[in-house]
Amino acid sequence: MPESISIRVQAEHEYTVHIGSGNIALLPTIHTGAGRVVIIYQEPVTRWVEIVRAQFVDAGVSVTLVSVPDGEAAKSTAVLEDCWRRLGESGFTRNDLVVGVGGGAVTDLAGFVAATWLRGLRNINIPTTLLGMVDAAVGGKTGINTAAGKNLVGSFHSPVAVICDLDTLATLPRPDLVAGMAEVAKVGLTSDPTILSDLRRDVTTCCNPSSDLMADLIRRAVQVKADVVSGDFKEVSSSAARPTLGREALNYGHTFGHAIERVEDYRWRHGEAISVGMVYVAELARLAGLLGAAEVGTHREILGILGLPTSYVSGRWPQLLAAMQIDKKARGDQLRFVVLAGIGQPVELAGPEPELLLAAYDAVTA
Ligand SMILES: NC(=O)c1ccc[n+]([C@@H]2O[C@H](COP(=O)([O-])OP(=O)(O)OC[C@H]3O[C@@H](n4cnc5c(N)ncnc54)[C@H](O)[C@@H]3O)[C@@H](O)[C@H]2O)c1
């Protein structure tokens, strides 16, 4: 059984990400002094919510359960308003606590509920998807989707703790586990190439949630995110004030990936879209003379052995380009991409020529 480990994140306040089996039992030791707790969750994780709830009830804390619609449907203004209504009815004060149990959709929503109620309550994230553990629940970005786009309304609001209980991954559907591996592969490609070696050597064990190897991959991916967030909490990097790539490096593959998600009306899993997005920026970097064909091949090889998509349909370029233009990573009238100048060397490519963008799209069409 993988032993529990702790990773510190330094944001607007310092907090710990706890990674290990049976970690929900740590809740009583994370003292918050809250009198009331609201647990926001989706139906597929009910059995884990019961365990979380029992920890608070045993400690004499009053618990309000708020079940929200599954998947991305949770991140809507209507659901947000419903959460606010429930907090109002239960008399939540600034001393109380919001706990999100679930995937990235739930922790994004729960974090935003916490950020907005009474101008900020404390919250604990208990991610139950791989993507949630290695990405969404760590870093303090919270938010919802609106008609204007995905994640355009939100706030930086760091949790007081993140509890990754590896046992919860046992019930995660395989396609969601594989989609989470896209973010692990992203960390391998952008900053920790030893992850790529592990995936090549034994992809089956890497994708087994009860293995020590998967626990170690999660630890390494969280460590990279924690380091980057600690150095650039509000993503001010690569501005005039700060010329290096900080938190933006985490957006590798996300500009094209978000465009696919939008064009596909969010029917694709986030990790699947990011997988194609990473192949797209690898091709873009090759066409820009920054990356070799062998490294582009590494992208297809690693994502391919994980069973992730590496190509997209042809004939969608106008919609994809329009979606990228409104993506929040476009600044002014320039499109900006995180690309690699080699494995583990993220750099920014700002304003590539339209012909280059289209040629990279052609290179990822099936
Ligand atoms: N805030 C950030 O920094 C950040 C980063 C990356 C992604 N995100 C957001 O995360 C979301 C995607 O997160 P996701 O990939 O975790 O998907 P998700 O939250 O939609 O969860 C996927 C599915 O798995 C179910 N589920 C979750 N845990 C389970 C478990 N242990 N057992 C059984 N079923 C389980 C959920 O109910 C859902 O049906 C997107 O909204 C994305 O924008 C946020």
CB distance 140 to ligand 1 below 6 Å: no
Residue type, 171: T
Three state DSSP letters for the chain: CCCCEEEEEECCCEEEEEEECCHHHHHHHCCCCCCEEEEEEEHHHHHHHHHHHHHHHHCCCEEEEEEECCHHHHCCHHHHHHHHHHHHHCCCCCCCEEEEEECHHHHHHHHHHHHHHHHCCEEEEEECCHHHHHHHCCCCEEEEEECCEEEEEEEECCCCEEEEEHHHHHHCCHHHHHHHHHHHHHHHHHCCCHHHHHHHHCHHHHCCCCCHHHHHHHHHHHHHHHHHHHHCCCCCCCECCECCCCHHHHHCCHHHHHHHHHHCCCCCCHHHHHHHHHHHHHHHHHHCCCCCHHHHHHHHHHHHHCCCCCCECCCCHHHHHHHHHHCCCCECCECEEEEECCCCCEEEEECCCHHHHHHHHHHHEC
pTM: 0.94
Ligand 1 pocket mutation pick from 76, 128, 176, 262 by most atoms within 8 angstroms of CB = 176
In the chain, CATH 1.20.1090.10 sits at: 174-220+244-364
pLDDT in the model for residue 147: 87
Residue numbers annotated as active site? 119, 141, 183, 225, 235, 247, 251, 254, 258, 270
Domain 174-220+244-364 grouped into CATH 1.20.1090.10: yes
Distance separating alpha carbons of residues 102 and 133, to the nearest angstrom: 10
Say whether pLDDT at 175 is over 90: yes
353 CA distance to ligand 1 middle (Å): 35
More confident residue, 349 or 333: 349
CB distance 131 to ligand 1 below 6 Å: yes
Name the band, by pLDDT with cuts 50, 70 and 90, for residue 241: very low
Enter the tokens of residue 103: 């995937």
| Residues 316-340, mean pLDDT to the nearest whole number | 83
pLDDT in the model for residue 237: 55
Ligand 1 pocket mutation pick from 21, 67, 68, 131 by most atoms within 8 angstroms of CB = 131
| Residues 77-105, mean pLDDT to the nearest whole number | 97
pLDDT in the model for residue 242: 44
In the chain, CATH 3.40.50.1970 sits at: 5-171
Which residue puts its alpha carbon closest to atom 10 of ligand 1?
104
Name the band, by pLDDT with cuts 50, 70 and 90, for residue 7: very high
| Residues 313-336, mean pLDDT to the nearest whole number | 83
More confident residue, 211 or 3: 211
129 CA distance to ligand 1 middle (Å): 6
Name the band, by pLDDT with cuts 50, 70 and 90, for residue 243: very low
Say whether pLDDT at 128 is over 80: yes
The CATH number of the structural domain formed by 5-171 is 3.40.50.1970
**Which numbered atom of ligand 1 lies nearest the CA of 71?**
20
**Which numbered atom of ligand 1 lies nearest the CA of 139?**
3
CB distance 149 to ligand 1 below 6 Å: no
| Residues 4-33, mean pLDDT to the nearest whole number | 92
pLDDT in the model for residue 2: 57
